[in-house]
């Protein structure tokens, strides 16, 4: 049953010509390789099961309609804060990232594109706590914004930016030459070709990259610790500076260290919500990719 | 609407093209500018610490904020710091390197194994499902890994794994000794390993999938088993990218903050003496210490953390440049060039 799809030919031959030793080695490799799959998926399954089972006792409508009070209450403030931070960060990162990706692929000479791509790749590798520290010394103290929505969102945007830029860059690179040429041959200007042909066919790639970046932003804690701070309150029309914001990942990491069962339940509930969001994002990304490849055929 | 009729109004089309060029050029400049600003700001912030600490910063194992409550100040080179303050990063560098090393040792065989399973040893449907879950693992927030590490892994190491390993493998240096709470080096390494496996798997899988089919078919024609094809054909061809994948994973492990912070035991002033000792990494220290550093009126503690951030920044940048280099080598790999010519 494990002798896999491409091996059928070889397996047929195995009975006739392949020595026992080689067959045993093949079998051993198959077992080891699937053992590693089990080793990887086991923690994931355990994580999901554990978080879900502990979160259940905190899951109620109250969770979404009351704010945190001390280490009890609900998660309304953290949920709203997370949404505000991620939306604001996404707006900033997608604007800069998509335009930057367009420039790199459509307008820049290879020599000019190189430093931008390099910077994006390097920035993607900078530890998020370093970006958080940078945000703290620049926005929170030097600009005097204090712990705030804007400082937190911009720190997140810096983390998202390289992913959006590179995804746009790659997605535009996959648009076929024929399509471009056809558009040009019809007399469209560069701008019209870009807007109506290139961006349209690169859209699913760009959306995938942006969703990936949103997933990363949702799960970040380190860049927010010293930029967004923490707050038990929230406003529908937030003040962008001078007021700290709550967010879900903060609840996970601080509340689990509290000696109260209620705090623990909130930490698990926050982790549960984050995992569900990541799961949903992954499903959506899959659908976008699948739909795109079907369209391409 | 003007774009559809541009052939009649070429000038307007040109202007609009130029507008796109300028707008996107400005946006593109943001990325290198941000990177440069981060480096410059951190360097400026770190400068007072560089001058005050000198080389001691790199060799000392002591991290002590000194007397923050009105003690006299120690002035060196015209820069003041609290009495008794000492800033050395050796403990944090050691913790970072050791925990990342454990993560790499654990994650590399498993990560590559999963990639091989996905590309060579599984029916397509199953591969899609497993890929989905591996990518899901990559998306799990690091605090959730931390939560799992803290509530599941740490007690398990403290009660079962640690004492067990200590008893059986205790004769090997670093494996013996008390496991205590379970918070420490081993827990950090394992959590990091779980976090970087998806990266190693995803990149290796893509590289293995790109190995030219013709090459594999030729292997099959010679009567090689699937395992021999993987060992002698696929893996050697994909090797540069697999190495790139490992280094990419290393970069992530070196900079990971929250998960490590939750399971490391946050050691200060002591180097790990066995696998179960509490540690701190550079990233986790920045996160853990900034709060108390802010209370230092001379600001030296914040500057010292900036120096730590600069060093961490430079290490991860180097690691990432290394990946770029290796991946470029892959793109020029003779086997792939050969394959491209063959298929054209």
What is the predicted pLDDT for the residue at B11?
54
CATH code at position A170: 1.10.3720.10
Residue A104 and residue A25 share a domain? no
Q: Are residues A47 and A91 in the same domain?
A: no
Question: Would the CB atoms of B226 and A132 count as touching at under 8 Å?
Answer: no
DSSP B46-75: HHHHHHHHTTHHHH---EE---TTTPPEEE
Q: Tell me the nearest-neighbour CA distance from B76 into chain A, angstroms.
A: 24
**Could you tell me the residue range of the domain that residue A161 belongs to?**
60-296
Same domain, residue pair A30 and A118: no
Residues A227 and A159 in one domain: yes
| Surface-to-core class of residue A179, CB atoms within 10 Å of its CB (0-12 exposed, 13-18 middle, 19+ buried) | middle
Task: Count CB-CB contacts under 10 A for residue A16.
Answer: 7
The answer to whether residues A148 and A162 belong to one domain is yes
Q: Are residues A193 and A108 in the same domain?
A: yes
Q: Are residues A50 and A141 in the same domain?
A: no
Domain termination residue (choose one: A15, A37, A57): A57
pLDDT bin (cut points 50, 70, 90) of residue A14 is very low
For residues A44 and A76, membership in a common domain is answered with: no
Mean per-residue pLDDT, A143-155: 89
DSSP letters for B95-124:
HHHHHHHHHHHHHHHHHHHHHHHHHHSS-H
Q: Are strands A72-73 and A68-69 parallel, antiparallel or unpaired?
A: antiparallel
pLDDT of residue B197: 93
Total domains in the fold of chain A: 2
Mean pLDDT to the nearest integer, A158-184: 86
Token reading at A245: 């914001």
Q: What is the mean pLDDT of residues A136-154?
A: 88
A220 shares its domain with A106: yes
Among the partner-chain residues B226, B227, B257, the one whose CB lies closest to the CB of A222 is B257
Judgement on whether residues A180 and A118 belong to the same structural domain of the protein:
yes
- Quick check: B113 and A36 CB within 8 A? yes
- In this structure, the answer to whether residues A161 and A108 fall within a common structural domain is yes
Is the pLDDT at A79 greater than 70, yes or no? yes
pLDDT of residue B14: 64
CA-nearest residue to B37 within chain A is A134
pLDDT at A158 over 90: yes
**In the beta sheet, which residues pair with residue B64?**
B86
Tokens of A199: 């961006």
Query: How many C-alpha atoms does A11 have within 13 Å on its Cβ side?
Result: 10
Residue A9 scores a pLDDT above 50: no
To the nearest whole percent, how much of chain A has pLDDT over 70?
91
Distance from CA of B27 to the nearest CA of A (A): 5
Where does a domain end: A57, A84, A101?
A57
Instruction: Please name the residues between 4 and 33 in chain A that touch chain B, using a CB distance below 8 Å.
Output: 4-7, 9-10, 13-14, 17-18, 22-23, 25-26, 29-30, 32-33
ipTM reported for the complex, 2 dp: 0.85
The Cα–Cα gap between A199 and A159 comes to 23
Domains in chain B (CATH in brackets) are 89-343 (1.10.3720.10)
Q: What is the pLDDT along chain B (344 residues), one digit of tens a residue?
A: 444 444 444 555 666 777 888 888 888 888 999 999 999 999 998 888 887 777 777 877 777 777 767 667 777 777 776 777 778 888 899 899 999 999 999 999 999 999 999 888 888 788 888 888 888 888 889 999 999 999 998 888 888 877 788 778 877 777 777 777 878 889 999 999 999 999 899 888 888 888 888 888 888 888 888 888 888 888 888 888 888 888 888 988 998 988 999 998 887 877 788 878 888 899 999 988 887 777 777 777 888 888 999 999 999 888 888 887 877 766 555 555 555 544 43
Q: Which of residues 37-76 of A touch B (CB under 8 A)?
A: 37, 39-41, 43-44, 46-47, 50-51
- Residues of chain B with Cβ-Cβ distance to A125 below 8 Å are 251, 255, 316-317, 319-320
pLDDT, residue B15, reads 67
- List, in order, residues 6 or more apart from A68 with CB less than 8 Å away: A74, A75, A76, A77, A78, A232, A246, A251, A266
Which one has a higher pLDDT value, A262 or A157? A157
| Dihedral, CA of residue A28, residue A33, residue A37 and residue A40, to nearest 10 | 100
B312–A108 CB contact, under 8 Å: no
Taking residues A79-107, report their average pLDDT. Answer: 91
> At B76, is the secondary structure helix, strand, or coil?
strand
Is residue A77 located within the same domain as residue A207? yes
Q: What is the pLDDT of residue B312?
A: 92
- pLDDT tens digit string along A212-261? 889 889 988 889 988 887 777 776 666 777 788 888 898 888 888 887 87
Q: What pLDDT is attached to residue B135? A: 85
């Amino acid at each position: 049953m494990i002798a896999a799809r491409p091996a059928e030919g070889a397996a047929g031959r195995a009975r006739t010509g392949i020595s026992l030793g080689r067959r045993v080695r093949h079998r051993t490799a198959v077992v080891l390789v699937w053992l590693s799959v089990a080793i990887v998926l086991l923690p994931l399954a355990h994580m999901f099961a554990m978080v879900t089972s502990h979160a259940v006792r905190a899951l109620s409508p109250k969770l979404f309609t009351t704010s945190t009070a001390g280490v009890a209450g609900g998660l309304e403030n953290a949920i709203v804060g997370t949404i505000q931070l991620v939306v604001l960060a996404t707006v900033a990162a997608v604007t800069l990232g998509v335009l930057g990706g367009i420039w790199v692929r459509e307008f820049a000479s290879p020599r000019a594109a190189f430093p931008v791509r390099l910077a994006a790749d390097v920035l993607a590798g900078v530890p998020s706590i370093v970006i958080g520290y940078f945000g703290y010394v620049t926005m929170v103290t030097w600009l005097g914004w204090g712990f705030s929505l804007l400082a937190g969102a911009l720190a997140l945007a810096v983390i998202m930016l390289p992913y959006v830029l590179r995804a746009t860059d790659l997605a535009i690179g996959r648009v076929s030459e024929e399509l471009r040429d056809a558009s040009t041959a019809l007399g469209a200007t560069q701008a019209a070709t870009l807007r109506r042909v290139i961006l349209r066919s690169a859209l699913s790639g760009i959306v995938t990259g942006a969703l990936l970046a949103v997933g990363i932003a949702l799960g970040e804690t380190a860049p927010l610790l010293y930029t967004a701070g923490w707050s038990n309150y929230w406003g529908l029309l937030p003040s962008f500076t001078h007021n700290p914001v709550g967010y879900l990942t903060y609840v996970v990491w601080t509340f689990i260290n509290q000696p109260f069962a209620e705090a623990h339940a909130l930490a698990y509930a926050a982790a549960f919500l984050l995992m569900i969001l990541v799961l949903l994002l992954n499903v959506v990304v899959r659908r976008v990719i699948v739909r795109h490849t079907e369209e391409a055929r | 609407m003007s774009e559809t009729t541009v052939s009649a109004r070429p000038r307007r089309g040109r202007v609009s093209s130029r507008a796109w060029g300028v707008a996107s050029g400005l946006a593109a400049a943001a990325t290198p500018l941000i990177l440069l600003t981060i480096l410059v700001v951190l360097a400026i912030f770190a400068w007072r610490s560089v001058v005050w600490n000198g080389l001691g910063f790199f060799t000392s194992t002591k991290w002590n904020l000194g007397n923050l409550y009105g003690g006299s100040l120690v002035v060196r080179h015209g820069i003041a710091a609290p009495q008794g303050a000492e800033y050395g990063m050796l403990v944090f560098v050691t913790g970072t390197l050791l925990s990342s090393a454990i993560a790499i040792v654990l994650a590399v065989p498993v990560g590559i194994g999963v990639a091989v399973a996905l590309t060579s040893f599984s029916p397509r449907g199953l591969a899609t499902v497993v890929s989905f879950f591996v990518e899901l693992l990559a998306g799990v927030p690091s605090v959730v890994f931390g939560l799992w590490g803290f509530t599941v892994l740490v007690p398990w190491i403290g009660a079962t794994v640690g004492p067990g390993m200590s008893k059986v493998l205790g004769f090997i240096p670093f494996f013996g000794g008390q496991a205590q709470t379970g918070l420490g080096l081993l827990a950090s390494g394992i959590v990091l390993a779980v976090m970087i496996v998806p990266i190693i798997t995803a990149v290796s899988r893509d590289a293995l999938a790109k190995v030219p089919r013709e090459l594999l078919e030729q292997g099959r024609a010679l009567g090689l088993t699937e395992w021999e094809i993987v060992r002698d054909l696929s893996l050697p061809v994909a090797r540069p990218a697999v190495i790139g994948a490992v280094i990419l994973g290393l970069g992530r492990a070196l900079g990971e903050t929250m998960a490590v912070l939750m399971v490391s035991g946050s050691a200060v002033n002591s180097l790990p003496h066995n696998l179960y000792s509490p540690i701190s990494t550079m990233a986790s220290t920045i996160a853990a210490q900034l709060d108390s550093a802010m209370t230092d009126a001379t600001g030296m503690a914040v500057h010292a953390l900036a120096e730590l951030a600069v060093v961490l920044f430079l290490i991860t940048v180097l690691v990432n440049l290394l990946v770029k280099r290796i991946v470029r080598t892959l793109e020029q790999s003779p086997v792939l060039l050969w394959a491209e010519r063959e298929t054209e």
